[in-house]
């Protein structure tokens, strides 16, 4: 903006009240779905030892770090994701908690990428994990939460789908075709990029493993290659009435090196097939992070705030829920005290204090102003009621701003009166 010397860094957002309210809608929905599904909240540090990320993530993440040396000479990094921290934290504290551990975190992450629509250099992530249970029931429980989250945002069948695969199916296929354990990560990386790779390059890369594109595509296309874990998850979700939201897609492998079994992504099925969330099993990560001192199977997923917000805004039946929530939460206050007689300022201040103390969101003019101007302020800040303090104090007039009706009451019982009045709907608009 012209004339302003400072701006937010590229890819970083200023959450003005409207943007902050959208953020709060996402956070509150995430939090409430996680809690009703029996997950408890934790939070790991925003800044960690860089080694934590270099040790586990692999892949492109390590080139996108906000990494620096702190004043004590430590090599530190703003977290690009939270699973590594979770593994560290669980390894240290797990004895205190009965298994399975069902935890969630809503936190900000940082990646140095090219800012674009749907991607910044910081983003908030909803992370959900189950640790201590190796069987597919844990994956199904986790995936059911991903689905319930989408439903809570107002999405319906046809808007999204969970596409699931199993790295073990790939490992078994590749082993059968002579791919060694050491070569497996490279092989999985090629499969992960299969849709983005040029056909000739793909054929060449697969040839190095003694495989052809046709063989790999045939493997992906055959539903008989669904793993027993996938089938158990599908059955579990079907029992929950959620079977229609999951389908097999063996082309999904996930980029991070630490995944070990079932992996999945939640896709926007309407439009651009963006991944809204993704996750899977990482049974060896806790042991890796803790140098083998703690061994806990685990499965988890993350959902970022950029894509889900865009998807909500593009989907009318989801957007209407968000807009209604934003509308309900847009007022600066419920009651605006109008001071019609400035000699009653002290009485008005006491009244404001009493109302606030009773939990009624209340505001008032800080300096004397014409009554019409004060009513304007009341409207602007979204108040339902203007409570008029005038010469007749302690008698008060209550103007219902939407219906332009009026009631009278007294200052002594204002807190009870307004508390009760806020529970009731407003009357019809009087012309």
- Binding residues among 13-52 for a second copy as defined by CB under 8 A: 13-17, 20-21, 23-24, 32, 35-49, 51-52
Of 71 and 176, the one with the shorter C-beta distance to a second copy is 71
As measured in angstroms, the least distance from the Cβ of 372 to a second copy is: 15
Q: How far apart are CA 176 and CA 221, in angstroms?
A: 18
Site for a second copy in 328-357 (CB under 8 A): 332-333, 345-347, 349-350, 352-353, 356-357
* Tokens matching residue 131: 């640790």
Query: Strand (E) positions, 160-297?
Result: 160-166, 246-248, 262-268, 275-281
Decide if residue 290 touches a second copy (CB under 8 A): yes
Count of residues interacting with a second copy (CB under 8 A): 101
Q: How far apart are CA 244 and CA 250, in angstroms?
A: 17
Of 133 and 268, the one with the shorter C-beta distance to a second copy is 133
As measured in angstroms, the least distance from the Cβ of 256 to a second copy is: 18
Decide if residue 289 touches a second copy (CB under 8 A): yes
Of 159 and 192, the one with the shorter C-beta distance to a second copy is 159
> Would you give the end-to-end CA distance of the chain in angstroms?
44
As measured in angstroms, the least distance from the Cβ of 69 to a second copy is: 7
* Tokens matching residue 92: 């240290």
Q: How far apart are CA 260 and CA 280, in angstroms?
A: 8
Among 317, 370, 380, 404, binds a second copy (CB under 8 A): 380
Decide if residue 381 touches a second copy (CB under 8 A): yes
Binding mask 75-114 for a second copy (x = CB under 8 A): -x-x---------xx-xxx--xxx-x-xx----x-x-x--
Stretch that binds a second copy, among 204-212, 273-281, 284-292, 310-318 (CB under 8 A): 284-292
> Phi and psi at residue 293, in whole multiples of 5°?
-75, -25
Stretch that binds a second copy, among 205-213, 221-229, 373-381, 412-420 (CB under 8 A): 373-381
Residues with Cβ < 8 Å from 285, sequence gap 6 or more? Answer: 56, 83, 84, 87, 258, 298
**Is the separation of the CB atoms in 33 and 149 below 8 Å?**
yes
As measured in angstroms, the least distance from the Cβ of 38 to a second copy is: 3
* Tokens matching residue 154: 């107002």
Q: Which element (helix H / strand E) includes 272? A: none
- Max intra-chain CA distance, the chain: 93
Site for a second copy in 236-255 (CB under 8 A): 236, 239-242
Among 70, 181, 182, 200, binds a second copy (CB under 8 A): 70
Q: Which element (helix H / strand E) includes 127? A: strand 122-131
Q: How far apart are CA 190 and CA 203, in angstroms?
A: 10
Stretch that binds a second copy, among 73-81, 169-177, 217-225, 260-268 (CB under 8 A): 73-81
Closest residue by Cα to residue 220 from 181, 200, 250:
250
Of 222 and 235, the one with the shorter C-beta distance to a second copy is 235
């Amino acid at each position: 903006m012209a004339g302003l010397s400072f701006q937010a860094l590229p890819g970083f957002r200023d959450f003005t009240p409207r943007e902050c309210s959208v953020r709060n809608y996402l956070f509150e929905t995430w939090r409430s779905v996680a809690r009703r599904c029996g997950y408890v909240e934790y939070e790991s540090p925003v800044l960690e030892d860089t080694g934590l990320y270099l040790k586990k993530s692999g892949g492109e993440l390590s080139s996108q770090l906000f990494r620096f040396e702190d004043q004590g000479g430590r090599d530190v990094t703003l977290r690009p994701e939270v699973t590594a921290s979770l593994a560290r934290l669980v390894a240290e504290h797990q004895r205190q908690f009965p298994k399975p551990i069902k935890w969630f975190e809503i936190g900000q992450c940082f990646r140095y990428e090219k800012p674009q629509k749907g991607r910044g250099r910081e983003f908030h992530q909803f992370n959900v994990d189950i640790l201590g249970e190796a069987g597919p029931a844990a994956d199904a429980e986790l995936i059911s939460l991903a689905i319930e989250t989408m439903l809570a945002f107002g999405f319906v069948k046809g808007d999204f789908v969970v596409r699931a695969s199993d790295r073990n199916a790939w490992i078994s296929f590749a082993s059968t075709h002579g791919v060694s354990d050491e070569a497996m990560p490279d092989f999985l990386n090629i499969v992960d990029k299969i849709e983005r790779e040029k056909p000739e390059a793909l054929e060449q890369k697969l040839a190095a493993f003694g495989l052809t594109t046709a063989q790999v595509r045939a493997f992906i296309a055959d539903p008989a290659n669904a793993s027993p874990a996938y089938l158990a998850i599908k059955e579990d979700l079907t029992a929950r009435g959620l079977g229609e939201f999951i389908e097999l897609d063996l082309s999904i492998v996930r980029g991070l090196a630490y995944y070990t079994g079932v992996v999945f992504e939640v896709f926007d099925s309407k439009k651009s097939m963006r991944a809204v969330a993704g996750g899977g099993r990482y049974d060896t990560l806790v042991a890796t992070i803790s140098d083998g001192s703690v061994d806990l199977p685990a499965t988890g997923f993350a959902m970022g705030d950029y894509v889900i917000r865009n998807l909500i805004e593009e989907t009318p039946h989801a957007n209407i829920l968000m807009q209604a929530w934003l509308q309900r939460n847009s007022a600066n206050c419920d009651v605006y005290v109008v001071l019609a007689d400035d000699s009653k300022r002290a009485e008005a201040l006491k009244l404001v204090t009493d109302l606030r103390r009773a939990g009624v969101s209340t505001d008032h003019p800080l300096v004397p102003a014409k009554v019409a101007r004060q009513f304007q302020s009341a409207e602007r800040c979204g108040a339902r009621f203007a409570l008029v303090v005038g010469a007749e104090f302690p008698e008060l007039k209550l103007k219902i701003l939407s219906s332009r009706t009026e009631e009278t009451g007294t200052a002594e019982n204002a807190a009870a009166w307004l508390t009760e009045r806020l529970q009731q709907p407003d009357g019809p608009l009087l012309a």
